[in-house]
Structure 1
Amino acid sequence: MATREDARRILDVWLEDWARDGVGYWLVERLDAPGVVVGLSGLRHKELEGQRVLNLAYRFAPQTWGSGFATEASRVALGLAARHLPHVPLVAIIHPNNVASLRVAERLGMRLDRHVTEDGIQNRVYVPG
C-alpha cells in the first residue's frame, strides 16, 4: 500500500463487504496483548471464473509466522461459512510460491482443486477436502 488514502480505500471496500454481505475480514489481535493487531483473516465474496465464491484470506505480520494465527483464525472462518453459508462454494486462492499459505490450507484439510490466472498471475485454488 503506497499511501494512507490507499489504505482507507481498501478499508472502505472491506467495510462495505460487511454491510452488504454480512461477511468480511477480521483484524486478529494477540490474546496475551489485547489491542496488538497481528494480521487479518476472514471470508469475502468474490467472482471466480463466473461463479460467486467465498474466498478465505489470511495475512499476518512476518514476526508471527509459524505461531498458528493463520490456521486458528481460518479454522473459525471455515466453521462459520459451513454453518451459515453452506450453499456458497469456498476457496482459498494462493500464489504457488507462497509455501507458508499453501501449508496453512493443507493443515485446514483443504485440497488443491485447480489452477487459475487472475490479473496475469497464476494461482492455485484450494477447496475444502
Structure 2
Amino acid sequence: MQSTLKRLHLRPVIALDAARLFEIYGDPATNTFNPAGPYPDIHHAKMVLARWISHWELNGFGNWAISLRDTPEKTLGFGGLSISHFADISINNLGYRFATEAWGNGLATEFSQYAIKHGFDHIKLAEISAVVRKNHLVSQKVLTKAGLRYVREILDVQNAPPSLLFTLTREEWNNKSTKITNAR
C-alpha cells in the first residue's frame, strides 16, 4: 500500500531501506532527545527493520518510508503506527523521525495528520498515542497540531526520566473532524 499526500509519498518499509534507516537513526542530531542514543551500526538497523516488516505482516499496518512526492526515490524519514509496549501499557504508537535536511518544513505535521486519519478511518483503531521527551518541544507542538493531547508521564526508557504520553481517541477525532467540516 503506497500513499501520496499533498507533499509526501509513503510506502511500507522494505529490507533495502536498511542503509537509509541507519543514516537517519544513526545520526546523533536526530537523536538529540533520545536517551537511547543513535543506532550503533547497520546490523542494529537491519534488526529494527526486520521487526517493522514483521509488524506489517502480522498487523496489516506499520512504518512507512517517507519521501517527497516529487522525489519518491529519496527517503527523508520513517514513521507510522505500531503497537508498542511499555512498562505498564500497550499503545497504538504514532512515531516518526526525519533526516535533518527535512526539518522545519512542516513535514512531520503533515505526516502525523495523515497517519492519524489513516489509523482511524482505515485501520479502525480506537485510540492513537505518541510518546515524546519532556524537552522535545517541537515534537510536542507537532502532536498537538495533529490533535493529540497530553495525558500523563510514562516510563519508556529504562534508567531515564519519564516521557510524556499524548493521546487521541477516535471519538475525539470524529468530533474534531465534524466541527471542521461544519465550519466550512
Alignment deviations for residues 41-67 of structure 1 (CA, whole Å, 9 cap, x no partner): 210001245443200001001121111
Alignment deviations for residues 80-116 of structure 1 (CA, whole Å, 9 cap, x no partner): 11122233x3110001111111110011121111001
CA RMSD of aligned residues (A): 1.5
Matched, 1:72 2:130: no
1:18-97 equivalences in 2 (<5 Å) = 18-48=56-86, 50-83=88-121, 84-87=123-126, 89-97=127-135
Distance 2:109 2:159 in 1: 28
Instruction: Report the number of matched residues.
Output: 128
Q: What is the percent sequence identity of the aligned residues?
A: 26
The normalised TM-score by structure 1 is: 0.90
Letter in 2 for 1:60: F
Q: Which has the larger radius of gyration?
A: 2
Q: Is the 8 A contact 1:111 1:127 kept in 2?
A: yes
Q: Is the 8 A contact 2:149 2:167 kept in 1?
A: yes
Distance 2:89 2:41 in 1: 32
Please list every run of 5 or more consecutive structure 1 residues that lacks an aligned counterpart in the other structure: none
The normalised TM-score by structure 2 is: 0.65
What is the Cα deviation at residue 76 of structure 1?
1.2
Letter in 2 for 1:120: N
Quote the residue 1:120 is aligned against.
159
